[in-house]
Structure 1
Amino acid sequence: MVTNKDAEAGVQKEEIPHDHLFKVTGLSSSNLQKLGQDVAAATPADFEAAIAATGYGKFNILLMLCTLPAFWSAVSVTSSVSYIFTRAQCDMQLSLLDMGTVNAITYGGMISSAMIWGFLSDTLGRRRIMVWGNFFSGVLELCGSLSQNFPMLLLTRFASGFLFNGPFAVLISYLAELHRTELRARVILLTSLFYTIANTTLPLLAWAILTKDWHFYMFGNKFVIHAWNIFLMATALVPMFTGLAFLCMPESPKFLMSRGRNEEAMQVFRKIYTMNTGKPKEEYPIAVLVEEKSEEQAQGVAALRGGLSQLAPLFRAPHLKWLVLMCVIHLGCMFGSNTLRLWYPQLAAMIGSNSNESLCAAIAPEATVPPDDVSCKPILTDMLTYLQSAIVGAGSVLTYGIGGALVNRCGKKLVSGLCGVLSALVIILLPFLGTGAFTVVGLVTAALAFTSLCGASLSSITVDLFPTSSRVMALATFLMCGRVGTILGTITFPALIKFGCLPPFITIAAVLGAVGLACAIVPNTTLKKLE
């Protein structure tokens, strides 16, 4: 308890150094305190200190609101076309192999541009890539939505994947560079929820549009807009909106500091500080940033050589064997996971929502004869057909919730291996136990939950296996191999269906089983410190 005497004593004690300091320095205690604060502010601060000083508030919320449509775009760019086949199959005379090729071609575009976007993002900046990459990807999606034939749809899907890969690859880095250290892991985890929202709402949008019998004829009936064209138009607007939304966001201050543009970075920090705290930018506690620009930075051909020299250690011992192992395992994991995910909307439509018909009866070879002008009839769908896909998409919520606890308790290696084997067992049971729509929904949801957790664990192991200097290149190679697996799977699935119901599911199960067993030779990286 503080008495009046204590307070007076405190005041008297403060007056003595005040008079003494004033005589010695000519400055009052308040001026000296301000001088001390100015000296502290003038001490160069690194990026972590600068971003932490901005706080957390309105800016971060706005950033996440801009990020949500970006993740929705990622799902729609790769998956929206898989929902149109029930109608476009007859309009464009598509065989099952054609459908698989269209599903795969987007990933082909992503693979072909992976290295290009990595170079451009470190040269042009994060914001510019996300603005123009998203916007023009949406423009290409819009052009693709007007497709009247298979070649046009194929070309626009490839070009869209080529363009969209850049801004989406940059997005994770951008998010990390605008949050302080203790918030980054939470933010990245939150993006998993955005994927779930997208995977749940996309089939609901498909139900709202694709169940309508819309046909609009133009130019003397030579140009027709069907319901599936309108669905693709609707999904194309999201990446365009995303690009416009990022016009309101600043450039990554981390990128600006790495390029020696500290004055611009300081303006960004002050803007974030003002939005988060409501205080004027002049009160931002940091006045000077450290110089991060490396003298060894290069451009053009020299930068390309630098990237190749960074890639070279991955292909030498001791990293080569682990890189090959992780890439092969991830290829197999995505072969099973994305093949099932991209083909499920078509399988659900074939089975029907109220039918007790078995999965094999619905996709029997005689039911998959390529359509012709006379006999082709579009597959009728209803709300329950698309609701099944929404349930499958929402199933990943449990995956990340339960998986996080399992990884901490059991270790990444055990979780990835066990999930690979369990997903194989579930998929091999699909042809035998899939005797109705809801049974198939349950089995597919379980299989995709296991493969998602397996893929997440493999990604985390890959991060731990490689040193910082090679980690980004290792992850880029790892993800590229996963996309190769997606392409192989989506094309192999329809080819195997021609031989009967069992071959495609046995093949997927065999690959995922091999993935699970191969995880036994992956090194244990649980609680391993990053190199």
Structure 2
Amino acid sequence: MVAQGCDAEAAARGGDIPHDHLFKVTGLSSNNLQKLAQDAAPVVSDFEAAIAATQYGRFNVLLLACSLPAFWSAVSVTSSVSYIFTRAKCDMDLSLLDMGTVTAITYAGMIMSAMIWGFLSDTLGRRYIMVWGFLGAGVLEVAAALSQSFAMLLVTRFFCGFLFNGPFAVLLSYIAELHRTEHRARALLLTSMFYTLANTTLPLLAWAFLTHPEWDVELFGGQIVIHAWNLFLLATALMPLLSGAAFVFLPESPKFLMSRGRNDEAMAVFRGIYSMNTGRPGEEYPIEKLHSERAGELAGGLAALRGGGAQLAPLFRAPHACWLLLLCGIHVGCMFGSNTLRLWYPQLAAMIGNHVDESLCSAIAPDATPPLPADWEGEGEPCQPIDTDMVTYLQSVIVGSGSILTYGIGGMLVNKCGKKLVTAVCCWVAAALIMTMPVLGAGAFSVVALVTAALAFTSLSGAALSSIPVDLFPTDLRVMALAIYLMTGRMGTILGTVAFPALMDFGCYPPFIAISGVLIVCGAACLLLPNTTLKRME
């Protein structure tokens, strides 16, 4: 009897306890006890829920503030040299081909480093690449600012582009990964307004330095001469250095940490952001447990690099490959239209400045050439620095500031109308404006107005387009995809700056018709993209 009782008790322990017994002991049914057990277990949350729980506040404002000098640097690293040629062409005996080569060499450096930086950032982390990449680019910009020869300027500008391309591509992904779905596209559009700020202030900075040729400083007995344009480049070099220093104080992307299996570190980042945004202790952060995106923490260093090739292979297979190809093709066309017009505008403004009462087409091919100085006795034409006044720079300021209104409108429409529709419409409107420039461009005022409006819409189209690959590709492929995306866009810039003067040989209309046609095709291609508006980040 004892053995039989023990066996019955053991069976009762090993099986389900009867409902009536549970009710007598606890006062609760088995269903209620099961519900309590589920409530006691921590709820597993994915990244979107975790980043949304941090709310929006001081951290997000700080992030955008730290990004401002980086976006300013993105303009100065490609455009600052175009301002110095009015003086540097005589100091370095530069030809037109030399000037074009210096302008293009920065983009060449960016193109050559795109794959390398994308691979490193998707395997080693966002913050590490941003800190050291921006600091390294700043140091090289300082070296470029001290250039005393064409060869030194050419080499340093190449490596400036080589180093700057990586951290800036990472920055776009980093900003997206630290904003929740509702704010992501708007945050990227807001940062695009920093381009407008840079395009507005860079001409003013150039005017402050380049209109003072007497600011020449001789060092080491005249072996090194620092001209006003050297000082201008030194001033622009401070921005990437400031960017690298600012990102030292920001955390690693929690989305990247989760993709690496480092959920404890990601949780610490989320709690820090929550505390800064709300002013409450991090312990009150409502998320208790994060979803495991990896079975375990992945290896770092060389082991991560060895595994990176297999990890990135899906980017070049369906379905990612076709979307990447389409996005890159559209970006080539957008940059062909936008940057060609932006980089050639100073030359167009100078031509129109000498032909105030004539149309743009008449000013593009002037008949007269400037006379030689009366006291010139040498062979050939003397090198004469181009004297610029404040009006020339103010025209560039107006053109650069034209995007402010369109960015504000775009920020309100992007979530309502969709990113691809905003991109397409802006491309078509810009194409219409550019196509009318040879007809309506009768004088400096009308050309400034048309160029300002066209660049405003092309800038908004580029900003809206840039937010699509951020949402379209998963975390472990995002920066590589963005790096390739930016690389192809810069190829469009190089193609446009070379094609524009070549098309001018066939007349006034061909270059503007070509740009308009490319933008029309890009707008139509945007309609083939998937809808990523308010899409959850993978």
Scaled by the length of structure 2, the TM-score of the pair is 0.79
CA distance in 2, matches of 1:528, 1:142: 40
CA distance in 2, matches of 1:384, 1:399: 25
1:312 maps onto 2:317 in alignment: yes
Deviation (angstroms), 1:120:
1.0
Residues 240/365 of structure 1: CA separation in 2 closer, same or farther (3 Å cut): farther
1:7-53 CA-partner distances (Å, limit 9, x unpaired) = xxxxxxxxxxxxxxxx9889xxxxxxxxx899668433333333333
Residues 97/119 of structure 1: CA separation in 2 closer, same or farther (3 Å cut): same
Structure 1 residue aligned with 2:19: none
CA distance in 1, matches of 2:111, 2:159: 11
Structure 1 residue aligned with 2:220: 219
Structure 1 residue aligned with 2:443: 436
Structure 1 residue aligned with 2:385: 378
Structure 2 residue aligned with 1:335: 336
Structure 2 residue aligned with 1:256: 257
- The 3-state SS of whatever aligns with 2:304 is coil
Structure 1 residue aligned with 2:18: none
CA distance in 1, matches of 2:275, 2:415: 38
What are the residue-to-residue correspondences of 1:148-163 with 2, within 5 Å?
148-163=148-163
1:389 maps onto 2:396 in alignment: yes
1:384-403 CA-partner distances (Å, limit 9, x unpaired) = 21111111111112333455
Residues 168/508 of structure 1: CA separation in 2 closer, same or farther (3 Å cut): same
Deviation (angstroms), 1:426:
4.0
CA distance in 2, matches of 1:365, 1:473: 50
Structure 1 residue aligned with 2:513: 509
Contact map agreement 1:423 1:509 (CA 8 A) in 2: no
CA distance in 2, matches of 1:235, 1:59: 27
Deviation (angstroms), 1:252:
1.4
Deviation (angstroms), 1:132:
0.8
User: How many pairs does the alignment contain?
Assistant: 492
| Percentage of pairs with the same residue | 64
Scaled by the length of structure 1, the TM-score of the pair is 0.80
**Letter aligned with residue 486 of structure 1:** T
CA distance in 2, matches of 1:513, 1:102: 28
CA distance in 1, matches of 2:114, 2:350: 34
Contact map agreement 1:86 1:349 (CA 8 A) in 2: no
CA distance in 2, matches of 1:346, 1:310: 41
Deviation (angstroms), 1:443:
2.1
**Letter aligned with residue 178 of structure 1:** L
Structure 2 residue aligned with 1:167: 167
What are the residue-to-residue correspondences of 1:490-529 with 2, within 5 Å?
490-494=497-501, 499=505, 502=507, 506-517=510-521, 519-520=523-524, 523-524=527-528
1:354-388 CA-partner distances (Å, limit 9, x unpaired) = 9657655476487599x999612111112221111
Structure 1 residue aligned with 2:452: 445
- The 3-state SS of whatever aligns with 1:217 is strand
What are the residue-to-residue correspondences of 1:2-81 with 2, within 5 Å?
42-81=42-81
CA distance in 1, matches of 2:433, 2:88: 31
CA distance in 1, matches of 2:465, 2:500: 24
CA distance in 2, matches of 1:463, 1:170: 11
Residues 406/268 of structure 1: CA separation in 2 closer, same or farther (3 Å cut): closer
Structure 2 residue aligned with 1:204: 204
Deviation (angstroms), 1:291:
2.3
Residues 299/45 of structure 1: CA separation in 2 closer, same or farther (3 Å cut): same
Structure 2 residue aligned with 1:32: none
Contact map agreement 1:260 1:292 (CA 8 A) in 2: yes
CA distance in 1, matches of 2:417, 2:289: 46
Structure 2 residue aligned with 1:138: 138
What are the residue-to-residue correspondences of 1:106-117 with 2, within 5 Å?
106-117=106-117
Residues 63/212 of structure 1: CA separation in 2 closer, same or farther (3 Å cut): same
- The 3-state SS of whatever aligns with 2:217 is strand
Deviation (angstroms), 1:243:
0.5
Contact map agreement 1:41 1:286 (CA 8 A) in 2: no
Deviation (angstroms), 1:178:
1.9
Structure 2 residue aligned with 1:280: 281
Deviation (angstroms), 1:54:
2.5
CA distance in 1, matches of 2:476, 2:63: 29
Contact map agreement 2:169 2:482 (CA 8 A) in 1: no
CA distance in 2, matches of 1:270, 1:412: 31
Structure 2 residue aligned with 1:480: 487
Deviation (angstroms), 1:434:
3.9
1:86-124 CA-partner distances (Å, limit 9, x unpaired) = 222222222223222222221211111111111111222
CA distance in 2, matches of 1:373, 1:225: 28
Structure 2 residue aligned with 1:86: 86
**Structure 1, gaps ≥5 residues long:** 1-22, 27-35
Deviation (angstroms), 1:236:
0.4
1:326-380 CA-partner distances (Å, limit 9, x unpaired) = 54443233222211112223443454499657655476487599x9996121111
Residues 492/517 of structure 1: CA separation in 2 closer, same or farther (3 Å cut): closer
CA distance in 1, matches of 2:467, 2:64: 23
Contact map agreement 1:134 1:164 (CA 8 A) in 2: yes
**Structure 2, gaps ≥5 residues long:** 1-23, 28-35, 372-377
CA distance in 2, matches of 1:176, 1:458: 14
Structure 1 residue aligned with 2:32: none
Structure 2 residue aligned with 1:238: 239
- The 3-state SS of whatever aligns with 2:218 is strand
Q: Which moved more, 1:106-115 or 1:46-55?
A: 46-55
Deviation (angstroms), 1:138:
0.7
CA distance in 1, matches of 2:474, 2:51: 25
- The 3-state SS of whatever aligns with 1:299 is helix
Contact map agreement 1:419 1:516 (CA 8 A) in 2: no
Structure 2 residue aligned with 1:300: 305
Residues 25/103 of structure 1: CA separation in 2 closer, same or farther (3 Å cut): farther
Contact map agreement 1:102 1:157 (CA 8 A) in 2: yes
1:471-495 CA-partner distances (Å, limit 9, x unpaired) = 7766554433221111122233455
1:309-339 CA-partner distances (Å, limit 9, x unpaired) = 43133697xx3xx765654443233222211
Q: Which moved more, 1:513-522 or 1:181-190?
A: 513-522
Residues 515/401 of structure 1: CA separation in 2 closer, same or farther (3 Å cut): same
Contact map agreement 2:147 2:153 (CA 8 A) in 1: yes
Deviation (angstroms), 1:239:
0.6
What are the residue-to-residue correspondences of 1:86-105 with 2, within 5 Å?
86-105=86-105
Contact map agreement 1:392 1:444 (CA 8 A) in 2: yes
- The 3-state SS of whatever aligns with 2:118 is helix
Structure 2 residue aligned with 1:9: none
CA distance in 2, matches of 1:205, 1:42: 55
Contact map agreement 2:118 2:480 (CA 8 A) in 1: no
Deviation (angstroms), 1:223:
1.5
CA distance in 2, matches of 1:489, 1:365: 26
RMSD: 3.9
What are the residue-to-residue correspondences of 1:464-479 with 2, within 5 Å?
476-479=483-486
CA distance in 1, matches of 2:204, 2:228: 14
Contact map agreement 1:41 1:288 (CA 8 A) in 2: no
**Letter aligned with residue 274 of structure 1:** S
Contact map agreement 2:259 2:476 (CA 8 A) in 1: no
